[in-house]
Amino acid sequence: MKVIGGSSSEALATKVARELGMESGKLEVKRFPDGEKYLRVLEDVKGEDVAVIQSINRTPDELLFEYLLLVDTLKDLGPGSVVSFIPYFAYARQDERFNPGEALSFKTVSKLIESVGTDEIYTIDMHQHRVLKSTDVFKIPSHNLSAMPLLADFIQRTGNLQKPLVIGPDAEAEQWARLAAERLDTDYDVFEKKRLGSENVQIRPRKANAKDRDVLVVDDIISTGGTIVEALKILFSQGARKIDVACTHPILAVGALDKIYEAGAKNVVGTDTVPSPISFVSVAPLIAEQIRKEGFR
């Protein structure tokens, strides 16, 4: 078997391969002078099961195209199977036509991924809001893993939380708040969120009260930081003692991290699905575990 990382996930692929006691497969990726991409697989993959790891993150269009080149090429080289790990799956938020004539980007990207012959796909905490299951979008076998237990373990080791309360900033975050709370053996709640624009949200609390509690706020993505900042305002106004923040995908648009620290967060942590200054938790063990379970040859 081979583990091959695309440009966005080379370091992650190296870690996954190390967990499996092997070296990651090599690619040559460069640009022609006119800006077109060149890709060459430097491995003999004939008859081998290949795990491709490519987060489609900060430059999604470029990384998606590279993914298509990579998997199409691998499939031509006669592998056993190509199973893809797309730790951050861009475009999942455009899963509906909010205004007439809009592209259904989630559907288009999924079709492209299938079109090159991907045999099976794994994502990690993929944004699932209106589309509730990856199997509603993909025709190929698909699985959505969660990094939340790994993040909660990290917070438990480093955060020294007293009487912790886990909060998800919106209804969709219930799944992550529940997982983190289970791991921390404590209670959780979610807020109600209304999006007013790409950078502005309105958040209202529900039952939980953060008075005199250490709080862990969890979400799938931090992009502009607007959601987390609004959640922090509510929690501090309720009397929270200390607030830590954990997210799977630290996209972190310019200024987001500063805004969150200025709003009073003590620690902010994310994973390496999107490499960032707060990517202290690696999803490599999660991916390696699935590869072991798949019984790759």
Q: How far is the CB of 173 from ligand R5P (least distance, A)?
A: 6
Structure tokens at 1: 């078997």
Q: Establish if 219 lies at the interface with ligand R5P (CB under 6 A).
A: yes
Q: In whole angstroms, what is the distance from residue 234 CA to residue 177 CA? A: 17
Q: How far is the CB of 182 from ligand R5P (least distance, A)?
A: 20
Q: Establish if 95 lies at the interface with ligand R5P (CB under 6 A).
A: no
For ligand R5P, the closer of residues 1 and 263 by Cβ is 263
Per rule CB under 6 A, count of chain residues that contact ligand R5P: 13
- Residues identified as active-site: 193
The pair phi, psi for residue 247, each rounded to 5°, is: -140, 155
For ligand R5P, the closer of residues 66 and 170 by Cβ is 170
> Segment 131-190, which members bind ligand R5P (CB under 6 A)?
169-170, 172
Q: In whole angstroms, what is the distance from residue 126 CA to residue 249 CA? A: 9
Q: Establish if 227 lies at the interface with ligand R5P (CB under 6 A).
A: yes
Q: How far is the CB of 141 from ligand R5P (least distance, A)?
A: 25
> Segment 198-217, which members bind ligand R5P (CB under 6 A)?
201
Q: Which residue in 79, 159, 225, 270 binds ligand R5P (CB under 6 A)?
A: 225
Q: Establish if 271 lies at the interface with ligand R5P (CB under 6 A).
A: no
Tokens 């990579």: give the residue.
Answer: 70
Q: Establish if 226 lies at the interface with ligand R5P (CB under 6 A).
A: yes
Q: How far is the CB of 280 from ligand R5P (least distance, A)?
A: 19
Q: How far is the CB of 224 from ligand R5P (least distance, A)?
A: 3
Site residues (CB under 6 A) for ligand R5P?
Answer: 169-170, 172, 201, 219-227
